[in-house]
Amino acid sequence: MTAPTLQPRPVPGPVPAWSFPAGVPGRVPSGPETLRVDLPGRRLASVRLVLAAGAGRESAGSEGVATLTARALLEGTRPGGGTELTAAFERLGASLFASADLTALRVALDVPVTRLEPALELFSTVVRSAALDDADVRRVVRERLEEIGQEDADPGTRAMRELRAVLFPAESRAHLPTGGTRESIGSLGGADVRSFYGSVSPAEATAVLAGDLTGVDAEAALTASLAGWSTPGPGLPVADEILPVNGPRIVIVDRPGSVQTYLSLGHGVPDRTSDAWPLLTVAAHVLGGGLTSRLNAVLREEKGYTYGVRAGLLRMRGRGVFLAQGSVHTEVTGDAVADALAGLRSIQADGIAEDEAAASVRALADRAPAEYETARSVAAELADTTAAGLGPTYPTRYLSAVRAATPTSVADAYTTHIDTDALTIIAVGDAKQIRGPLESLGYAPVTITDPGAKETD
């Protein structure tokens, strides 16, 4: 018999040149700025209206009103009209979403390009004429309170809540949950939501439109939908940019009987306007960006303490937070924290190897073409950079900085901005079992927090 002829094994080639899609800026007369991104072949268009009305601009005592406003916008232009509004968008093959974080309130529309203009007309009625009815807001309040109860049961959410409460001073809005506390949410009603939304400034907003805009007068469509939009309110308070306060701390959130401990280790870092941000992103990937990262190599593969640990940076306007987090078995909590600290200190002790730096750079930069394949992902990224005041060219600058990172520059940025002797460590687990092992580390005094003492993020 004649041996079969085998084709040669394919060899990976170089990654094709790619850059983040460029946008064309504009402005609606007396209204929002605009950014139009033409993406040939992307027949699903995405619109992101970014309002400078995040939780950071709430008044004291009204925490959570931005979240309630975002949800109430989806209830339509007449009382109880949410189902009718959803059906109207669905008839166009479109979807409408709204959300709020500390920085901005975002209203998002996804629609086939062929139906962009009628969808924008409907979008315009929501933005201009939302009912924000008392009964609808009361229902949204009840849903948010129930959601808080569900979030209380999630250890990861609870750890993030406690980390923010400890890292940020009480006078910072970041100290409290973005979605409000039970007390603040329960005190809010339709008048509060209408007052908040009525104080949004259209001139401070930006409308991002991405998709295949061939044959579409995108600027005219945005102008038709947003021109003449005005609000009667006096303007929202200026958001604070109070920095996190670093220091060695161990806080236990007691969950009696828990078989796992959720760990969150955090440290304040500069925000995305800093040249250090891309380098810190690479450092975080080296430490906890995948199963071969330093923390996972020890905690998961060698010791078997966890299914996985991840590290990254929390984006916040004016500041950032480095995070390493994951769940470990209760009985090894102390050992896991000790090994995690050793891993986080390893960059200062040993530097970063060429191969692991190169692998992290490839993972962060080379995945960008796939990550931003859709109009939705491009619009969302530009909406985020707009809300943060970074400008539409930031994604390109960021990717270039990541590609230019070296082992030395990454290690220098990490050791300069992260003091591993001043980490805040949150442990959500059974205090009776984990307090002793954590105290024996000698890292910092251990305090215990009642799990019902603070509200959820």
Residue 86 exposure: Cα atoms within 13 Å on the Cβ side: 10
> How does the average pLDDT of the chain come out, rounded?
94
Interatomic CA distance for residues 35 and 27, integer angstroms = 8
- Residues across the chain: 457
The H or E element containing residue 85 is helix 82-91
Q: Which two tokens stand for residue 291?
A: 């199963």
Give ∠ CA 183-201-140 in degrees, rounded to 5: 35
- Per-residue model confidence (pLDDT) at position 12: 80
The H or E element containing residue 26 is strand 24-27
- Strand 105-112 vs strand 95-100: parallel, antiparallel, or unpaired? antiparallel
Q: pLDDT of 5-19, one tens digit each?
A: 888 888 888 777 788
Provide the pLDDT confidence category of residue 451 given band limits of 50, 70 and 90. low
Helices (H) and strands (E) in the chain, counts: 17, 12
- Look at residue 111 and tell me whether its pLDDT is greater than 80: yes
Q: pLDDT of 304-362, one tens digit each?
A: 999 999 999 999 999 999 999 999 999 999 999 999 999 999 999 999 999 999 999 99
Long-range contacts, 74-79 (Cβ 8 Å, 24+): 74/98, 74/126, 75/130, 75/131, 75/132, 75/133, 75/136, 75/140, 76/126, 76/130, 76/131, 77/125, 77/126, 77/129, 77/130, 77/131, 78/131, 78/133, 79/131, 79/133, 79/135, 79/136
- Look at residue 216 and tell me whether its pLDDT is greater than 80: yes
Residue 80 exposure: Cα atoms within 13 Å on the Cβ side: 1
**Domain architecture of the chain: domains with CATH:** 24-226 (3.30.830.10), 249-449 (3.30.830.10)
Q: pLDDT of 239-258, one tens digit each?
A: 999 999 999 999 999 999 99
pTM, full prediction: 0.92
- Per-residue model confidence (pLDDT) at position 454: 44
